[in-house]
Each structure stands twice: as structure tokens, then as C-alpha cells.
């Protein structure tokens, strides 16, 4: 097979100047690793957009190919963990950050980063979900494992029109929960209800009276994708024994909340990290995404593009203008 492939390459011709172009690369350009994968699909995440524009908090070494998500077919595996032809998902760890990622038609990575595609899920479906889907599913998983049942009451989802938030809404609805979605984009109310939200409220509605140390018990659980004040309000208004998950910081990295919800109501705050999540938990959650939590409306949540389409989508994402996830088709790039 040819060792050449197409890739989005971000280069730094001079200090604080970054350029993007679609180039032909070779396997020899890729970092060391036991596993070589022909990438069929990837997806665009906010972290990818930051990497593609030279954000030093994500990527410092250039030239570089972003893409924290990749799904494809194994070409070779030096340590025998996988066989040629196996279909695998590779997300998180250092992929697309300092290690050339899924916006190239080939990747070479440590074999321990890869997960065999679970039965019931296609490579394309796995990247419709991507890291955003994994993060949402880890959040729902913590609610379920924490004992929160559909009959216990509504589940709050903040940042509901974002990648993680929208997928969390759909997964929770699929699992039988009644979801209240919070958004700053009330023009997306119909879309959120199509995903399964029972109620859609504005950020202002949620935050009313939020400065108080304790609020009326409302939520059996919450999936917070924002952080800051919204996370504080979710904690303050959680029911007794409620579970609140946290995976975002766009609102703020600070959390102004007293210990009252934790020691008077037994509220549990669970941090969600998809980057270094143990492989056994990943496998469990991906299996749920392929079975009981498999979404019927995934195609309505994504726009399919090729590598060329990233040039339009990257700045749009950074401006907060993305309405759907971007699925990147590497087979047709």
C-alpha cells in the first residue's frame, strides 16, 4: 500500500503566524508508535480548532496535524494488540495535540490508545459521536452508576446546544430521563426538543436568585458543560443525593459554592475527564453507545465535510457559530 496520504497541516512560518493547508505526507512523517491506522472518519472539536490556529495551550510543536478523534482500519500493529483489518476508535490521550491526529488519512499511535469498534456501531457513527459523545456518555454513566433513576426527577443539562450538551440531551432522553436543557440560544429550542429535551430554558431563567447559598431542590442530577456560576447553581438546586457532573469551563474555571449542598443534601460532584479515562471504562461506555444508548437521530446532529471543509468550520467554531457537529470524511478527502 502507498505510504503517502492527504493531511491538514498547520505550519508556523514565523512567530505568532500560523497557516493551514491540505498537503501530501508520508508515513515517515508520523511519530513513533506500534499502531498504524487508515483513518476513515474524524470530527471537529473545539480543541481541534484551537490547535489549528496555534493555541499554545493545546499544541506547541509545528508543523502539526490536529484531530483528537479518529476511527478507521488497522494497517499494522507491531505488538500484536490488533490485527490488520480491525476497525478501531482512537480518541483523546495526546492525539491531535502534540501527536499528529485524525485530520490526516493515516495516524501512527501507541496501541494502548486504540479501542476495538464495538459491535452495533459503524466507524462513521463513532465519529458522529467522537470525544464529545464519549464525554457526554461518561457523564450519563456517572448519573446512572450514582443511582439516579428516571423517576427521581428531571436532569439539567447546561450548554445544551454544544457538542457535549446536545449529545447528553439525546442520550439522557434515550435512557428514559426527563431533560431540562439550558441554552443561551433560545432560537434552538425546537432543535433541542427534537433531540429529546422536555423543557428548554434560558440561562437567565436558571440563574435567577443564583447568588443564594442554597436553592430550591429541583434536579435529580445535572450534566454541566459550562462551569462557573451555572455549575454552582446546578449544585445548589440539586435534590438530596443528587449527582452533578462537570466537564466544561467556558463559563469560568472558578466555582463559588459553599459546602452546604454537600453536607446538608449529600450532593455529589463528579469530574469528567475523557483524555486519560481508563480503557476499561471507555470500553464499557462505548458499548453502551452501541447498544442501549445508541442514538437514532445522529445524522440530524452533524454536518459531513471533507478536509477541505475544515477551513470554513474552524473559525466558525471559534466564534461559537457552529450549530451541529462536523463529521470529517477522510475517505473522500
- 333 residues of the chain, pLDDT tens digit each: 568 999 999 999 999 999 999 999 999 999 999 999 999 999 999 999 999 999 999 999 999 999 999 999 999 999 999 999 999 999 999 999 999 999 999 999 999 999 999 999 999 999 999 999 999 999 999 999 999 999 999 999 999 999 999 999 999 999 999 999 999 989 999 999 999 999 999 999 999 988 899 999 999 999 999 999 999 999 999 999 999 999 999 899 999 999 999 999 999 999 999 999 999 999 999 999 999 999 998 998 999 999 999 999 999 999 888 778 999 999 998
CA 316/CA 49 separation, integer angstroms: 9
> Which residues, other chains included, contact 166 with Cβ-Cβ below 8 Å and sequence gap of 6+?
160, 192, 195, 301, 325
Contacts for 228-232: CB closer than 8 Å, 24+ residues apart: 228/252, 228/253, 228/254, 228/255, 229/256, 230/158, 230/159, 230/182, 230/203, 230/206, 231/158, 231/255, 231/257, 232/256, 232/257
Other Cβ atoms within 10 Å of 34 Cβ, number? 18
What is the predicted pLDDT for the residue at 1? 59
Q: What is the pLDDT of residue 3?
A: 86
Half-sphere exposure of 258 (CA within 13 A, CB side): 13
Spell out a b/e string for 176-191, using b for 16 or more CB atoms within 10 Å of the CB, else e: ebbbbbbbebeebbeb
Please report the pLDDT score of residue 80 as a whole number.
Answer: 97
Structural domains present in the chain: 4-120+297-329 (3.90.180.10), 132-271 (3.40.50.720)
Question: Is residue 63 reached through a cis peptide bond, with omega within 30 degrees of 0 on the bond before it?
Answer: yes
Host H or E run for residue 155 = strand 155-157
CA dist., res. 321 & res. 311, Å (int): 14
Q: Taking a C-beta distance cutoff of 8 angstroms, is the pair 7, 66 a contact?
A: no
Amino acid at each position: 500500500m502507498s505510504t503517502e496520504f492527504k493531511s491538514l497541516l498547520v505550519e508556523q512560518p514565523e512567530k505568532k503566524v500560523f497557516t493551514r493547508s491540505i498537503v501530501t505526507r508520508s508515513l515517515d512523517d508520523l511519530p513513533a508508535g506500534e499502531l498504524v491506522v487508515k483513518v476513515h472518519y474524524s470530527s471537529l472539536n473545539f480543541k481541534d480548532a484551537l490547535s489549528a490556529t496555534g493555541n499554545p495551550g493545546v499544541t506547541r510543536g509545528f508543523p502539526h496535524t490536529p484531530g483528537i478523534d479518529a476511527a478507521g482500519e488497522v494497517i499494522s500493529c507491531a505488538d500484536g494488540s490488533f490485527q490488520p483489518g480491525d476497525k478501531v476508535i482512537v480518541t483523546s490521550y495526546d492525539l491531535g495535540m502534540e501527536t499528529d491526529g485524525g485530520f490526516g488519512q493515516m495516524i501512527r499511535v501507541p496501541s494502548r490508545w486504540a479501542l476495538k469498534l464495538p459491535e452495533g456501531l459503524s466507524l462513521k457513527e463513532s465519529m458522529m459521536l467522537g470525544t464529545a459523545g464519549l464525554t457526554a456518555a461518561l457523564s450519563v454513566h456517572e448519573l446512572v452508576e450514582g443511582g439516579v433513576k428516571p423517576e427521581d426527577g428531571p436532569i439539567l443539562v447546561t450548554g445544551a446546544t454544544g457538542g457535549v450538551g446536545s449529545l447528553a440531551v439525546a442520550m439522557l432522553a434515550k435512557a428514559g430521563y426527563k431533560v431540562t436543557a439550558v441554552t443561551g440560544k433560545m432560537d434552538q429550542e425546537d432543535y433541542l426538543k427534537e433531540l429529546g429535551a422536555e423543557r428548554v430554558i434560558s440561562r437567565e431563567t436558571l440563574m435567577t436568585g443564583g447568588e443564594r447559598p442554597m436553592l430550591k431542590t429541583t434536579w435529580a442530577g445535572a450534566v454541566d458543560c459550562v462551569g462557573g456560576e451555572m455549575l454552582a447553581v446546578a449544585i445548589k438546586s440539586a435534590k438530596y443525593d443528587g449527582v452533578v457532573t462537570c466537564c466544561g469551563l467556558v463559563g469560568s474555571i472558578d466555582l463559588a459554592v459553599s459546602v452546604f449542598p454537600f453536607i446538608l443534601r449529600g450532593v455529589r460532584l463528579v469530574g469528567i475527564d475523557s483524555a486519560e479515562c481508563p480503557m476499561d471504562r471507555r470500553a464499557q461506555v462505548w458499548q453502551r453507545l452501541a447498544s442501549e444508548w445508541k442514538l437514532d437521530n445522529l445524522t440530524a446532529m452533524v454536518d459531513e465535510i471533507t478536509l477541505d471543509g475544515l477551513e470554513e468550520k474552524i473559525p466558525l467554531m471559534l466564534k461559537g457559530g457552529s450549530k451541529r457537529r462536523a463529521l470529517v470524511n477522510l475517505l473522500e478527502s
